[in-house]
Amino acid sequence: MQVQAWISLSAAIIYFLLIICFAVAIVMKRRPIGVSLAWLVLLFALPLAGMVAYLILGSQLFGARRLRHTRNRHTGYYRWRILFGRLLSKQFGSESLAKDSRLYQFIENTMGMPALPGNHLQLYLNSFNVIDQIIADIAQAKKSVSLQFYVWWPEGKCQLITEALLQAVKRNIHCRILVDAVGSYYFLEHEDIIALKNAGVIVEAYCPVGPIRMFFERIDIRNHRKIVIIDEKIAWTGSFNMIDPSYFKQNKNFGEWVDAMVRVEGPSANMVNTVFLWDWQVATGCESKLFSKPPDGCFKYKGDTYLHVLPSDPRLNRENLHQALLTSIYESKEEITITTPYFVPDDALFSALISTAKRGVKVCLILPKTTDSRLARFASRSYYQPLLEAGAQILLFDSGLLHTKCVLVDNKITLFGSVNMDMRSVWLNMELTLIIYSKSFADKIAKMITQYKSKSVPLDLQDWKQRSFIRKIGESIAQLASPLL
């Protein structure tokens, strides 16, 4: 009995020390206070579950190999980026709209390069048109095709992409596919993979997961970028995953996904290509002399649009994206419109929106009426009332799942890409954002927003206050988990 008592006491002491060690680790990470408090509440309320969850989702474990590949390439990439930008600025100068923007100044000072000039942009608002044009671009490729997506769902019209790649390989086009291992799990197990690999298409999965690996690498840090590169001269990016919206998740009863993509020709297409190659090298470990000098043909101008290419990575300068979003909100003088499928901002972004609305700027949020994440939907709703009381306008899109991610500032500057207005996207995922300094492109985005507004229902503050007490409780509980979403 005495031995059993000692064993029980020792186990209790070890258990208590483990809780204390985890609590110290959470505090020492110096995260935003809300995030740290959420983890501490979970740890002390459900110690065992909290420790396991923190090991899998909370600790910043990126994998030793991927972290080594990332750091080894960072210096070369940074120098290449500065050289590229300086050469372009000497040749083309800076556009007045860009130079007068505080957001431009922030990005230039942070990244060490000016906005890239000479780009031609085409905006696509229909997923089927996106697929058709990507197929056409693949058919015209002369050297290479590179595709990178968070979700690849090989059904419907996406089968035509597979066929286009098989035809391209027959023409000796170098074809590569990089997909996220979690988001594209179905594709990685699909029969298309065998056909593509047998034909010579190189397919890689980013951040593979497994029951053992998850204790050494975080499984929730995902590569969320959407990129298509043709011959290193044409680049696509935006919110569109490689899905046919008439097939993807149609059993969830929220309609078809509504996305937007931009097709870029000009120097910035080459910059987007370097983002893809960065991810490819990190995923495969292959070496490249890519960052030794600006590539041939990178100074061929196709248009008159200036833009910054802003990749985000939690392993390197992860605060840049967050600060860029804050700067864009505070810079707005007349109007700022945000479209995002998931709206779970951190305290800084939420406060920025509140104060911007209170200083008389027209703040408009266009969000889907329903999403594929119930917890995120309830957490999002907990922010509505303070925003409405501050004077912001909230529109709920009711014609499918609005998946477009963009920020339009004063109808002049556009942030467009893969970033959701939530903490996971801002702080954890690998994302890609184009910051576009163009009034003509902003006009196109404004027309897109007008279309979205016509299919949306505005929230009324007084009606919103009348929702049931049970819903309010559920939203408040969900908000407590918002730092972990």
Q: Known catalytic residues?
A: 224, 226, 231, 403, 405, 410
What would the 3-class secondary structure string for the chain be? CHHHHHHHHHHHHHHHHHHHHHHHHHHHCCCCHHHHHHHHHHHHHCHHHHHHHHHHHHCCCECHHHHHHHHHHHHHHHHHHHHHHHHHHHHHCCCHHHHCCHHHHHHHHHHCCCCEEEEEEEEECCHHHHHHHHHHHHHHCCCEEEEEECCECCCCCHHHHHHHHHHHHHCCCEEEEEEECCCCHHHHCCHHHHHHHHHCCEEEEECCCCCCHHHCECCCCCECCCEEEECCCEEEEECCCECCCCCCCHHHCCCCEECCEEEEECHHHHHHHHHHHHHHHHHHCCCCCHHHCCCCCCCCCCCCEEEEEEEEECCECCHHHHHHHHHHHHHCCCEEEEECCCEECCHHHHHHHHHHHHCCCEEEEEEECCCCCHHHHHHHHCCHHHHHHHCCEEEEECCCEECCCEEEECCCEEEEECCCEEHHHHHHCEEEEEEEECHHHHHHHHHHHHHHHHCEEECCHHHHHCCCHHHHHHHHHHHHCHHHC
Query: For residue 342, how far is the Cα from the chain centroid?
Result: 11
Which string of DSSP letters, residue by residue, matches 329-384? HHH-SSEEEEE-S-EE--HHHHHHHHHHHHTT-EEEEEEESS-S-HHHHHHHHTTH
Q: Which residue has the tokens 């979690």?
A: 182
